[in-house]
Amino acid sequence: MTPNAPLADGFAHHITRWAKRAGASEPAVALAEAAARLVSAATAEGHVCAHVDALPSPWQAMPPDELHTALMATGVVADDASAEPAPLFADDNGRVYLWRYHDYERRLAAALHALAQPFALGDADIARLRAQLDQLFPTDPQRSEPDRQKLAAALALQGGLTVISGGPGTGKTHTVVGLLATLLTLQPNTRVALAAPTGKAAARMMETLRRRTADLPDAIRERLPTEAWTIHRLLGVTSEAGRFRHHRDNPLPIDALVVDEASMLDLALATRLVEAMPAGARLILLGDKDQLAAVEAGAVFAELSAGLGFSDRRAAELADLAGCTANALHDIASGVAPLPDSVVWLTESRRFRADSGIGRLAADINAGRGAEALAWMQAAADESVRWINDAGEAPGAASLAAVLAGYAPYFEALLGPDGHDPAALMRALDRFRVLCAVQAGPRGVVAINDFVAQRVRRLTTPASSSPWYRGRAVMILRNDYALRVFNGDIGLCVPGPDGELAVAFPDSDGAWRLLTPSRLPEHADAFAMTVHKSQGSEFERVHLLLPGSAAAVMTRELAYTAVTRAASAVEISGNGEVFISACAQPTRRRSGLGRQLMQGVH
């Protein structure tokens, strides 16, 4: 029995009773039960919907039209022709949804289309825009294709929706700084907000933006936001689960919103966010389409940025602003674009070259070249990438030694003159991180955290049996708005002014807040974390510990996300076959959002 089986069974039992009350025949009740179990299991795995092809016999062999008719006869399935909603929804392409997920998908597509309208700009506006963009994104005569950063800025200034996808170091923040500087120069009273799905990602966004805006004129810098919000805080959490203060009938009081790490947006949250945008506002979504999708159902950002293309009219307008030709914009088009005229891919990494160790490894993983990447790592051809052959059920001596060596700067900092200074300790801690694919088991987060924690405890407080000791690193697992700590925030246990241990968390202004350990919401050690939890973070070096076998969680996106958390070096320890299998297994989340968008839902 899978971990999600009890939930699927419970939902199927509920739907079975519903179908019986609706007067369905015995075969129809059996179909309702099978469909309910299928959809429940699919959503638990992150899919928005299931497909009827996955139904068991005899329904799997039925002609599509006949099967759709049979589903409608259950009394628990609705379709586009239904007058009333039902627990399940079936579309005309064989997809079966929980009703609420189909409703989210339809609403999100409609809200995106409403937002993605071009603004009417006069000749004088275009001329001012062009001059400002030329100043912030100077023309490079050596460039053979359009400057994609300048193109993304032009796109965001011309329309209400811009989706900017790029890997680490491709200049997403530089692009945002340029477009916001242009916007605030031309429209000084623009109300700008910054947000991200997690507190950690929001804090990193603000920190990066602060560094990149240091050279802007004071008049522009003073108009920029001084805080980045989590999306939940921005929308306004209420006491009612799933309800926010801001929604389509009470939109956000803003003119422009920039959302970082948008690949972490699930379908439900994305719908509520886009619906809360006021008419005439700009929404800029930043992310990496090749990263892991949200933990909850949906892969919204990957679907929105799946294709790149421009209409003839928009290409001509953008070419004028971006300093290129319309044909050059058509030349960079790729795939089928669910959102034409709204998407830009940034492809040139400034953090590491494509032929650098991390750049090459990331590209090989993305292309599914697992065997080639493994052979290259085993040859030790690049000192920034290290492979440790470790196929055991538990991590071997070489892997554990590498983990301790990675944390050596942190151990030294704990014993040095700044061993009580949370800022110095956090800088040392963030030089290295262990990332795991799984939570449990000898190669999981819990085991590695215990291993590192024992070493830290021996260094700082060997005589104490308390769970709290100097140098303990913890990650918050549940938002606490009163304490201003959020899921993903990391704090360090240090002595407070009174000598008592407290947990220090960084504030947006660079200061540190000390909280009593007993007041913290749900938390866990943070020396190792899952790759999912690492999204929105960057470390100098990363150690990826592969699971002992090719688990379903070990996918191409997970390997890529882990590798690209590293700024200068990465090491991977595990079984080579597990690595190769992961590179060959891209995530495929079932959804109908792309189709809804291309149908032009209104």
What DSSP string runs through 459-521?
HH-TT--SS--TT-EEEE-S-BTTTTB-TT-EEEEEE-TTSSEEEEEE-TTS-EEEE-GGG--
Please tell me the distance from the alpha carbon of residue 426 to that of residue 428, in angstroms, as a whole number: 5
CA distance 476 to 488: 5
Each residue's pLDDT tens digit, 211-237 = 888 778 888 888 888 888 888 889 987
Q: Which residues contact 577 (CB under 8 A, 6 or more apart)?
A: 550
Contact 257, 195 (CB under 8 A): yes
Structure tokens at 423: 């800022």
> Are the CB atoms for 451 and 394 separated by under 8 Å?
no
Higher pLDDT, 538 or 536: 538
Say whether 375 sits in a helix, a strand or coil.
helix
Q: Give per-residue pLDDT as tens, 46-70.
A: 898 999 988 988 888 888 889 999 9
pLDDT at 361: 92
Q: Given this model, what pLDDT does residue 434 score? A: 96
> What CA–CA distance (Å, rounded) separates 226 from 214?
13
**What is the structure's pLDDT at 442?**
92
Give the integer Cα–Cα distance in Å for 80 and 592.
Answer: 14
Strand partners, 163: 285, 343
CB 62 within 8 A of CB 73: no
pLDDT tens digits for range 127-167: 888 888 888 888 777 777 888 888 888 888 888 999 999 88
**Residue matched to tokens 């306004």:** 236
Predicted local distance difference test score (pLDDT) of residue 308: 86
Amino acid (one-letter) located at 408: A
User: What is the per-residue pLDDT across 372-391, written as a single tens digit (0 to 9) for each?
Assistant: 999 999 998 888 899 999 98
* pLDDT of 1: 37
| Beta strands, E only, 235-351 | 256-259, 282-287, 343-346
Is pLDDT of 251 > 70? Answer: yes
Cβ atoms within 10 Å, residue 367? 12
Q: 0.95 exceeded by the pTM? A: no
Q: What is the C-alpha to C-alpha distance for residues 163 and 82, in angstroms, rounded to an integer? A: 34
Contact in structure between 292 and 262 (CB atoms under 8 Å)? no
Contacts of 408 (CB under 8 A, 6+ apart): none
The pair phi, psi for residue 573, each rounded to 5°, is -120, 135
Distance of alpha carbon 542 from alpha carbon 531, whole angstroms: 11
In 3D space, the residue among 286, 278, 313, 11 whose CA is nearest the CA of residue 160 turns out to be 278
Count CB-CB contacts under 10 A for residue 445: 26
CA atoms of 175 and 180, how far apart (whole Å): 9
- DSSP character for 432? E
371 Rama sector, left if φ>0, alpha if ψ -120 to 50, beta otherwise: alpha
H or E element, residue 295: none
pLDDT(119) > 50:
yes
Element (H, E) at 27: helix 26-44
Average pLDDT, the chain: 87
- Section 349-361 average pLDDT: 71
Residue, of 296 and 471, whose pLDDT is higher: 471
Q: Is the pLDDT of residue 448 over 60?
A: yes
Closest CA to 592 of 42, 37, 71: 42
pLDDT band at 355; cut points 50, 70, 90: low
Question: Rg of the chain's alpha carbons, rounded to an integer?
Answer: 25
Q: Using a pLDDT cut of 70, give the percent of the chain over it.
A: 96
End-to-end CA distance of the chain: 42
Burial class of residue 301, CB neighbours in 10 A (0-12, 13-18, 19+): buried
Token digits of residue 118:
């071009």
- Type of residue numbered 474: V
pLDDT of residue 3: 47
- Min mean pLDDT across 162-166, 256-260, 295-299, 460-464 is at 295-299
Q: Say if residues 167 and 358 touch (Cβ distance below 8 Å).
A: no
Cα 430 to Cα 409, 512, 537, 567, distances in angstroms: 10, 16, 9, 11
As a whole number of angstroms, the distance between CA 289 and CA 213 comes to 26
Look at residue 162 and give its three-state secondary structure. strand
Query: Residue 281: its pLDDT value, please?
Result: 93
- Average pLDDT on 460-484 reads 85
Read off the amino acid at residue 41.
Answer: A
Counted residue by residue, the chain has a size of 602
d(CA 558, CA 565): 11
Tokens in use for 529?
């974390």
Cα(270)–Cα(283) distance, rounded to whole angstroms? Answer: 12
What pLDDT, on a 0 to 100 scale, did the predictor assign at position 352? 55
Whether the per-residue pLDDT at 351 is higher than 90: the answer is no
Tokens representing 433?
């991180």
State both tokens at 513. Answer: 């807040």
51, 71 contact by CB (below 8 A): no
CA 72 – CA 578 distance, rounded (Å):
43
Joined together, the tokens standing for residue 495 give 């002595």
